[in-house]
Amino acid sequence: MPLTEDQAAEIAALRAQVAETRRATVPALEAMLYNAMPVLDHGFVRVVDYMGDDAAVVQSARVSYGRGTRKVSEDAGLIRYLMRHRHSTPFEMCEIKFHVKLPIFVARQWIRHRTANVNEYSARYSILDREFYIPAPENLAAQSSANRQGRGDVLVGDEAARVLDLLRGDAEQTYAHYAEMLNEDGADPTRQGLARELARMNLTLNTYTQWYWKIDLHNLLHFLSLRIDAHAQYEIRVYAEAMLESVKAWVPLCWEAFRDYRLGAVTFSGPMLTAVKRMLAGDAVTQPNSGMSKRDWAEFMTALGRAA
C-alpha cells in the first residue's frame, strides 16, 4: 500500500505534533496514532483520534467522580462482569475515529452497520483515484455450493488468469471512460466535461474510496465480532483484523474480556442447554429426541466438538 509523498508528509507532520492534555491517553495507541496499517493491495486503516480508555469504562459503570484508585485486578473484574452480562452503556463511553481506504463494494457491505458516524470521500466534489482492488490469486474462488454468500474452491490456471484479466481490464476501461467523460485535463477542447456526479456512475465497484468512521467501543466490538468471524467475507475481514490491533492497544482489559466472552464463546439456546443437562445426567440425546431442528443440532454438535 504505497502512500503518496503528500500523504506520507501529512502523517509525519501529525505525528510530530505534541499536545499537553488532562484527558486520558493510552501510550500504546498514541504510538500507533495516524500511522496507516496496510490492508489489501491499496487500502489502509489508521486511527486519527480517540476518547477514553479502560478506566473510562470502569468510571462510567461506578459513576465515580475521578479515575479511581482501585487495583487493576478489580477494574478487570468489573469489565469482565460487564462484558459477560452484555452491558452496553459503559463501553459506549469510549470512542475511536478511523480513516479507512477501501474498495467501494466493501464500503457498501460495511455501511450496513448503522451505528457509526461516517463521512465518505465525495465523488460529486472530487475525482476518484485510479486505484482498483484486484484479488490475490489465493483469494479468487468459485461460488460455494453450500453457502449462497460464500466461496468454494480456489480458481486455478487459465480460469483464474482469465478472471483476473477481466477484473483488471474492466476497471481500467471504465476508469478511462470516466476520465474521458470528465474531460478535466481538457483533452477535447471542443466539449464540456460531464458532471462528476454523473461520470462516477460508470466506475466498477472495486474502485477505492475513503472515509472517516467514528464509533463507540460497544458498537465497534459488535462490528468486530461479526466481521472477524471466519464466515465473514475476506475483504472486510482483513479490515476488521487491522482495527482489532488498535483495540488491543487502546483498551487491553476490554479486549481480553471481549476475547474470552465473545470471540471464544458460544451461546446455547434453551433446547441446547436442556440437551447438555440431559447428557450430563447420562441420557442418550439424539437430534430426533432433542427438540432441535437438523440445523440447530448440527450447530450444537459443532460447538461441542462432535460429529453431527
Enzyme catalytic residues: 227
Compute CA distances 1 → 36, 44, 102, 190, whole Å: 9, 7, 11, 38
Distance, CA of 67 to CA of 293 (rounded, Å): 50
Distance, CA of 57 to CA of 88 (rounded, Å): 10
* Grid cell in block for residue 44: 489502509
Do 43 and 102 touch, CB atoms closer than 8 A? yes
Sign of CA dihedral 73, 79, 84, 85: positive
Do 113 and 100 touch, CB atoms closer than 8 A? no
Distance, CA of 214 to CA of 95 (rounded, Å): 7
CA nearest 108: which of 184, 18, 211?
Answer: 211
